[in-house]
Amino acid sequence: MKSPAAPRLCATLLAALMLFGGAASADAAGALAIGKCGAYGQAYDYPAEAAAIAAAKTKCNGDCTMVTMRRACAALSIDLANPCGAHGYAVESKISTSLNAATKKCYEYGGKECVIRAWACDAKG
């Protein structure tokens, strides 16, 4: 004989999975603002891309290029020998890949001592 509580327990577990599953798959957005001479701003896990861009832009001094990420990681690499010179950035699905790609781009653009200046991941991804 089945327990009368079993169907309620199953329904409760199913509802919890749907609730937490929905929260985990909710879209989140991030942005990395890249300015001159190593200036940057970052924002992640915002509910919308526009909000992430606005937040990152307020943290970056000057005229900044905006890079967005959704369920991804972004990284900025600058030339330590000349912070106002070469730089590179990348957006990839994994932090290690974005760090490597940003550093590689910095060297490709003429950097001599490229180092990671900033990175951010959309933690929902």
- pLDDT tens readout for residues 64-122: 999 999 889 999 999 999 999 999 999 999 999 999 999 999 999 999 999 999 999 88
Structural domain includes residue 4:
no
pTM for the model stands at 0.75
More confident residue, 95 or 13: 95
Structural domain includes residue 74:
yes
Structural domain includes residue 98:
yes
Q: Are 32 and 69 in contact (CB under 8 A)?
A: yes
For residue 22, name the pLDDT band (cuts at 50, 70, 90).
very low
Strands 40-46 and 73-79: unpaired
Structural domain includes residue 22:
no
- H helix intervals, 1-125: 5-25, 49-58, 95-108
- In the 8-state DSSP scheme, what is residue 50? H
Closest CA to 108 of 82, 89, 80: 89
Closest CA to 88 of 55, 69, 66, 110: 110
Structural domain includes residue 6:
no
Q: How many structural domains comprise the chain?
A: 1
Structural domain includes residue 89:
yes
Structural domain includes residue 19:
no
With a cut of 70, say whether residue 3 has pLDDT above it: no
**Domain that residue 34 falls in:** 27-121
Structural domain includes residue 88:
yes
